[in-house]
Amino acid sequence: MGKEKLESLINVSVTPARDERFREVIAKRQQITVILENVHDPHNIGAVIRSCDAIGISEVFILYTEESHNFLKQKVGKNTSSGARKWVKAHYFGEIETCFDAVRSKYNKIYGTHLSDQSRSLYELDLTEPAALMFGNEQNGISDRALSLLDGNFIIPQYGMVQSLNISVACAVSLFEASRQRAAKEMYSVGFDQHNPAHTEMYNGFVQKHFEYIHKKEK
Amino acid sequence: MGKEKLESLINVSVTPARDERFREVIAKRQQITVILENVHDPHNIGAVIRSCDAIGISEVFILYTEESHNFLKQKVGKNTSSGARKWVKAHYFGEIETCFDAVRSKYNKIYGTHLSDQSRSLYELDLTEPAALMFGNEQNGISDRALSLLDGNFIIPQYGMVQSLNISVACAVSLFEASRQRAAKEMYSVGFDQHNPAHTEMYNGFVQKHFEYIHKKEK
Summarize pLDDT for A173-206 with one digit per residue, the tens: 999 999 999 999 999 999 999 999 999 999 999 9
Structural contact between residues A123 and A88, judged by C-beta atoms closer than 8 angstroms? no
Q: How confident is the model at residue B78 (pLDDT cuts 50, 70, 90)?
A: low
* End-to-end Cα spacing for chain A: 20
pLDDT given for residue B90 in this prediction: 93
Model's pTM, two decimal places?
0.90
Beta bridge partners of A93: A63
Percent of chain B with pLDDT over 70: 85
Partner-chain contact B82 A172, CB within 8 Å: no
DSSP codes, B136-164: -BTTTBS-HHHHHH-SEEEE----SSS--
Which residue of chain A comes nearest to B87, CA vs CA? A161
What stretches of chain B adopt beta strand conformation (E)? 32-37, 59-63, 89-93, 109-113, 120-121, 131-135, 152-155
Closest approach of A83 to chain B, Cα-based (Å): 7
Partner-chain contact B169 A47, CB within 8 Å: yes
Q: Which residues of A touch B47 (CB under 8 A)?
A: 166, 169
Q: How confident is the model at residue B94 (pLDDT cuts 50, 70, 90)?
A: very high
Q: Which residues of A touch B26 (CB under 8 A)?
A: none
Which residue of chain B comes nearest to A166, CA vs CA? B47
| pLDDT beyond 80 at A207 | yes
C-alpha atoms less than 13 angstroms from C-alpha of A158 in its C-beta half-sphere: 21
ipTM of this predicted complex? 0.89
pLDDT given for residue A190 in this prediction: 92
pLDDT given for residue A218 in this prediction: 66
Q: Across the interface, which of A28, A161, A180 has its CB nearest the CB of B53?
A: A161
The backbone torsions φ and ψ at residue B17, rounded to the nearest 5 degrees and listed phi first, read: -65, -45
| pLDDT beyond 80 at A80 | no
Partner-chain contact A53 B183, CB within 8 Å: no
Structural contact between residues B88 and B59, judged by C-beta atoms closer than 8 angstroms? yes
Q: How confident is the model at residue A2 (pLDDT cuts 50, 70, 90)?
A: low
**What rounded mean pLDDT belongs to chain A?**
88
Structural contact between residues B41 and B76, judged by C-beta atoms closer than 8 angstroms? no
Partner-chain contact A188 B156, CB within 8 Å: no
Q: How far apart are CA B1 and CA A205, in angstroms?
A: 65
Minimum mean pLDDT range among A77-86, A131-140, B29-38: A77-86
Which tops the pLDDT comparison, B217 or A49? A49
Structural contact between residues B43 and B71, judged by C-beta atoms closer than 8 angstroms? no
Which residue of chain A comes nearest to B167, CA vs CA? A169
Beta bridge partners of A153: A112
**What rounded mean pLDDT belongs to chain B?**
88
Q: How confident is the model at residue B41 (pLDDT cuts 50, 70, 90)?
A: confident
Closest approach of B10 to chain A, Cα-based (Å): 18
pLDDT given for residue B81 in this prediction: 61
Partner-chain contact B159 A54, CB within 8 Å: yes
Closest approach of B173 to chain A, Cα-based (Å): 5
pLDDT given for residue A9 in this prediction: 54
B-interface mutation test, from A127, A161, A207, most B Cβ less than 10 A away: A161
A-interface mutation test, from B55, B60, B156, B161, most A Cβ less than 10 A away: B161
Q: Do β-strands A59-63 and A131-135 pair in parallel, antiparallel, or remain unpaired?
A: unpaired
| pLDDT beyond 60 at A76 | no
* End-to-end Cα spacing for chain B: 20
Partner-chain contact A177 B172, CB within 8 Å: no
Closest approach of B53 to chain A, Cα-based (Å): 5
Chain B residues within 8 Å of chain A (Cβ atoms): 21, 25, 28, 47, 50-56, 80-84, 86-87, 123, 156-166, 168-169, 172-173, 176-177, 179-180, 183-184, 188
Q: How far apart are CA A192 and CA A203, in angstroms?
A: 10
Q: How far apart are CA B1 and CA B121, in angstroms?
A: 45
Chain A residues within 8 Å of chain B (Cβ atoms): 21, 25, 28, 47, 50-56, 80-84, 86-87, 123, 156-162, 164-166, 168-169, 172-173, 176-177, 179-180, 183, 188
Closest approach of B95 to chain A, Cα-based (Å): 30
Which residue of chain B comes nearest to A167, CA vs CA? B169
Question: Residue B66 CB: number of other CB atoms within 10 A?
Answer: 13
Structural contact between residues B68 and B35, judged by C-beta atoms closer than 8 angstroms? no
pLDDT given for residue A118 in this prediction: 87
Closest approach of A20 to chain B, Cα-based (Å): 12
Q: How many beta-carbon pairs under 8 angstroms link A with B? A: 117
Which tops the pLDDT comparison, B101 or A74? B101
A-interface mutation test, from B34, B120, B159, B175, most A Cβ less than 10 A away: B159
